[in-house]
A and B are shown apart, each in its own frame.
Chain A
Amino acid sequence: MIKIWSMKKNEDAAAKKKPKTSAAQIRVQKDLTELDLPSTMKTNFPNPEDLLNFELTITPDDGMYKGGEFLFTFTINSNYPHDPPKVKCVPKIYHPNLDLEGNVCLNILREDWKPVLNLNAVMVGLQYLFLEPNADDPLNKEAAKDLRENRSRFAQNVRTSMRGGYVGDEVYADVRPKA
């Protein structure tokens, strides 16, 4: 028995020397293995060693944003899953629930986050924003106003913006897939 305990101590010491995988990393790893994404969403890891910083591309196959390719960055801090992942939209797009800096208004990324949610839930929620843009609680007030007051004008504005055109005073990013 004594022998076993001293062996265990050595193991502990060895474990301490190795760089510790953080709780956030362990949880993210589990979330990633549980990902069950439709073909309209793809993850990409610019640095495969770094699971806490990655990209998601959404290419909606339905709705007003069909035909666009929307790149998001995910930044996960060491307090995950107690803190939600930080998600940003890279291209500047015309959408009531995204501001011009790419911040996203999605309830589960903010007030409704809870640690039992996972990355899959967040990604599915993001895709939903493209299928059902929502004029309540907007980040882009002009876009929300257009959506509320004149849905067909809003749809026209979405098309213009996705080609890299102007809507009002703002020029938006061309999000048509390259090649």
Chain B
Amino acid sequence: MKITINNYHAIALWRWNLKAGLQQHQPANAQPTAEGEEEEEEEDDDDDDDVCGICRVAYDGCCPDCKTPGDECPLIWGECTHVFHMHCIIKWLDTESSKQQCPMDRRPWVTAGAAAPPPDAPPAPRQAARVA
């Protein structure tokens, strides 16, 4: 049998690589006891794990000021391991009331890193080939 593909649609999915970002930045932040407990607590809190605490939009979505998710609206990590849309945390840190503190734990905000789609570990694209 011979098949001729006349046409196909490629579909790709992407996500921010949150795990990689966190692992990358955690060693610098290896403080014992109290912090360990706090992190465990956060992990229990599954529902809120995937949304930016400031705007409550999914990390894979974009902040309310942007139109499309992606490189234009990246994520940013604090050394405290909290993650926000970069635009959301910048807006907060710009306010006087923020006192330059992380809005989750009120520790001084220190940027640990920003997310770009990981070049080494591309998310598995889901491809749908349609035979027409």
Docked-complex contact A23 and B64, CB < 8 angstroms: yes
For A83, the chain B residues whose CB sits under 8 A away are 95, 97
Extra pairs beyond A82-B91, A116-B104 (10, CB < 8 Å): A12-B67, A26-B57, A26-B64, A82-B54, A113-B97, A114-B104, A115-B53, A115-B54, A115-B88, A116-B53
- Cα(A118)–Cα(B66), bound, Å: 22
Docked-complex contact A115 and B67, CB < 8 angstroms: no
* B contact patch SS: loop
B56 in complex: contacting residue of A15, A30, A111, A114, CB < 8 Å: A30
- Cα(A114)–Cα(B98), bound, Å: 7
For A, the interface residue count at a CB cutoff of 8 angstroms equals 16
For A82, the chain B residues whose CB sits under 8 A away are 54, 91-92, 95
Q: Mark B46-76, 1 if CB is under 8 A from A, else 0.
A: 0000000111110000011101000000000
Q: How large is the interface on B (under 10, 10 to 19, 20 to 34, 35 or more residues)?
A: 10 to 19
Smallest distance from the beta carbon of B88 to chain A beta carbons, Å?
8
A82-B95, A115-B54 known; A23+B65 contact, CB < 8 A: yes
- Cα(A83)–Cα(B96), bound, Å: 10
Smallest distance from the beta carbon of B50 to chain A beta carbons, Å?
14
Docked-complex contact B103 and A114, CB < 8 angstroms: yes
Q: Mark A160-173, 1 if CB is under 8 A from B, else 0.
A: 00000000000000
For B63, the chain A residues whose CB sits under 8 A away are 23
Asked whether any CB of chain B lies closer than 8 Å to the CB of A138, the reply is: no
- Cα(A81)–Cα(B53), bound, Å: 10
Q: Which of A12, A83, A113, A114 has the most CB of B within 10 A?
A: A114
Asked whether any CB of chain B lies closer than 8 Å to the CB of A27, the reply is: yes
A26-B64, A27-B64 known; A116+B54 contact, CB < 8 A: yes
Docked-complex contact A81 and B67, CB < 8 angstroms: no
Asked whether any CB of chain A lies closer than 8 Å to the CB of B106, the reply is: yes
Smallest distance from the beta carbon of B64 to chain A beta carbons, Å?
3
For A12, the chain B residues whose CB sits under 8 A away are 67
Docked-complex contact A27 and B56, CB < 8 angstroms: yes
Smallest distance from the beta carbon of B36 to chain A beta carbons, Å?
21
Smallest distance from the beta carbon of B60 to chain A beta carbons, Å?
16
Docked-complex contact A116 and B65, CB < 8 angstroms: no
Considering only residues 4-30 of chain A, those with a C-beta below 8 Å from chain B are 12, 15, 22-23, 26-27, 30
